[in-house]
Structure 1
Amino acid sequence: MRFCLQCQSTEIDKNWRCGVCDFSPARICGFPCFAPALAAENDGMHAESHDHLDLLQDQSFWFRARNRLIEDLCRRHFPGARRILELGCGTGYVTQALRKAMPDATISASEIYTNGLSHAQRRLGPGVELLQMDAREIPFREEFDLICAFDVLEHIDEDTRVLKRIVEALSPGGGVMLSVPQHRFLWSQVDVYSHHKRRYLTGELTTKCVDAGLTIVRDTSFVCSLLPLMFIQRMTEQKETNFNPSFEHTLPRFLDRAFEMALDLERRLIQTGISLPFGGSRFVLARLEASRV
């Protein structure tokens, strides 16, 4: 159900107006905005990042391979999800994968930057509800069968608060799909440029999920085979004065394709039930018990 962030009422109409306190979110660029002060600028990332991402994602092995893994995990572990929310949807690139994996589901997608939502609207077209909001304050309660946040939590200081809000927005028995960057020894200029607050330790995200009241369904690393190359590249970047944040996503075609094949092999291993012990990313899937305590 929809939830009023002002008075905590659930009497909200289809236009997001609260029947109790008469609050309704501001609209910027046509999107309902629940955190308008953060819609153009905040400390999560550069405001113009979505413009760059929109140009890079289709041509980068990492984004393409990650989308295929997301599709696989979604179909395998949450086939019955009918109401899905993606937090931090950015340009809508991953939302496409969710829609492909779950064509019969009703999908909502949120982003703190209205700039990102404009790209998502163009990419997705009608049929996906797009909302500007802060993931620390989700205007839903017991609404979704599946909530996803892919490479979002590392941008937020209060990641445990986000997990608590996710749990509140889940319907009983609902699921969660999360991905985050992993291994602190990989910290580099890429993380600084991306406004990351942290890279996660092995097991850190699973512990935070359990503490939030979730039961772990699946926990695996990703980008395992490329970890040595990642480490070398990140350490080399530390010494460079001419840092190029797009380097890893604008490789020569033959190299991009080779790396994509390596990640597709990892995806197939994960499909068989193997959990990779280390890698540049961590995927954690969890579920809320069907009956709330």
Structure 2
Amino acid sequence: MAESEQRHWWFTGRRAILSALLRRELGRSSIRAGTSSPAGPVRILEAGCGSGGNLGMLSAFGEIDAVEFDAGARAMAAQRSGLTILPCVLPYDLPVPDRAYDLIALLDVLEHVEEDRACLAALGGKLKPQGRILVTVPALPWLWSHHDTLHHHKRRYTRRTLAGAIAGAGLRVDRIGYFNSLLFPLALVRRLSAIASGRPAEDDRVPARPINAVLRSIFTAERYVIGRVRMAIGLSLFALVTLPE
């Protein structure tokens, strides 16, 4: 995964989409991407940074802290980013200060955590009053396959169940929706074929360069509509989460 996230269309496309979403959403809020306020620079936490593939993208928006459970992934993320990556076991061991962050990124992590509501509540305690959490998760439980088992997922979400977990954590949904929608028909055929045959779909393998480029271009096109157009369905969900007023 550490190797493929540098080139695979899904990882590179997701970074482009989330970067566009953050730039637009932070521009609408009191938090200005990449700028300082009288309270200091924008502070960002990535919770569950893995091998650090998203840290470069997030660093465009402010100063980064990061935590990660896996020791090997921490070492790789530290080598790539030059940051100190702190060990962390969500939701009960989160070694960062309370009420310190303008933005917390929880990118395809929540589905790995047994206690998702407790995880969100713990992260909510680390937000500044006007801060936000960006959450992404895999969508649609009926698409559960070997891919989810291989990646140690606990669950897949619907819009309703993700919103319910956020509300159950005492937080407020500011914006929520599906993405990875344009390629959904193709992905659906591949995923259902894998489920029916009992053989895993090779979702993690980087396709041949021309195919990878085409898939990335299609997926990345969603950066123009995410958060603006309500997609009816998709392989993933995003949510922007705030503290209750």
| TM-score grouping bracket, smaller chain normalisation | 0.7 to 0.9
Tell me the residue number matched to 1:74. Answer: 22
Runs of 4+ in 1 over 3 A off after TM superposition: 239-245
Deviation at 1:289, TM superposition (A): 4.2
* Counterpart-to-counterpart distance in 2, 1:278 and 1:289: 27
Match of 2:221 among 262, 265, 269: 265
| Secondary structure of residue in 2 paired with 1:54 | coil
Tell me the residue number matched to 1:141. Answer: 98
Tell me the residue number matched to 2:134. Answer: 177
**1:111 correspondence with 2:71:** no
* Counterpart-to-counterpart distance in 2, 1:114 and 1:89: 12
Q: How does 1:188-267 map to 2 (within 5 A)?
A: 188-240=145-197, 243=200, 245=202, 247-267=203-223
Tell me the residue number matched to 1:166. Answer: 123
Return the TM-score normalized by structure 1: 0.74
* Counterpart-to-counterpart distance in 2, 1:167 and 1:243: 36
Deviation at 1:241, TM superposition (A): 6.2
Query: In structure 2, what residue type is equivalent to 1:260?
Result: R
Deviation at 1:242, TM superposition (A): 5.8
Query: In structure 2, what residue type is equivalent to 1:275?
Result: R
Greater relative contact order (CA < 8 Å, ≥ 6 in sequence): 2
* Counterpart-to-counterpart distance in 1, 2:103 and 2:4: 27
Deviation at 1:248, TM superposition (A): 4.4
| Structure 1 residues without counterparts, runs of 5 or longer | 1-52
**1:90 correspondence with 2:60:** no
Query: In structure 2, what residue type is equivalent to 1:230?
Result: A
Tell me the residue number matched to 1:60. Answer: 8
* Counterpart-to-counterpart distance in 2, 1:216 and 1:168: 16
Query: In structure 1, what residue type is equivalent to 2:45?
Result: L
Q: Deviations over 1:159-213 (max 9, x none)?
A: 0110110111112121110000000121110001111110102221122212323
* Counterpart-to-counterpart distance in 1, 2:244 and 2:193: 45
* Counterpart-to-counterpart distance in 2, 1:274 and 1:83: 28
CA root-mean-square deviation: 1.8
Tell me the residue number matched to 1:278. Answer: 233
Deviation at 1:274, TM superposition (A): 1.1
* Counterpart-to-counterpart distance in 1, 2:157 and 2:176: 13
2:108, 2:137 within 8 Å by CA — same for their partners in 1? yes
Return the TM-score normalized by structure 2: 0.87
| Secondary structure of residue in 2 paired with 1:141 | coil
**1:288 correspondence with 2:243:** yes
1:74, 1:98 within 8 Å by CA — same for their partners in 2? no
* Counterpart-to-counterpart distance in 1, 2:221 and 2:26: 22
Deviation at 1:238, TM superposition (A): 2.8
| Structure 2 residues without counterparts, runs of 5 or longer | 33-41
* Counterpart-to-counterpart distance in 2, 1:164 and 1:207: 13
Q: How many residues align?
A: 231
Identical-pair percentage: 29
2:18, 2:223 within 8 Å by CA — same for their partners in 1? no
Tell me the residue number matched to 2:39. Answer: none
* Counterpart-to-counterpart distance in 2, 1:86 and 1:152: 10
Q: Deviations over 1:63-101 (max 9, x none)?
A: 00100112112222235261111011001101111013x
1:62, 1:249 within 8 Å by CA — same for their partners in 2? no
* Counterpart-to-counterpart distance in 1, 2:10 and 2:55: 16
* Counterpart-to-counterpart distance in 1, 2:156 and 2:122: 21
Query: In structure 1, what residue type is equivalent to 2:139?
Result: Q
Deviation at 1:121, TM superposition (A): 1.1
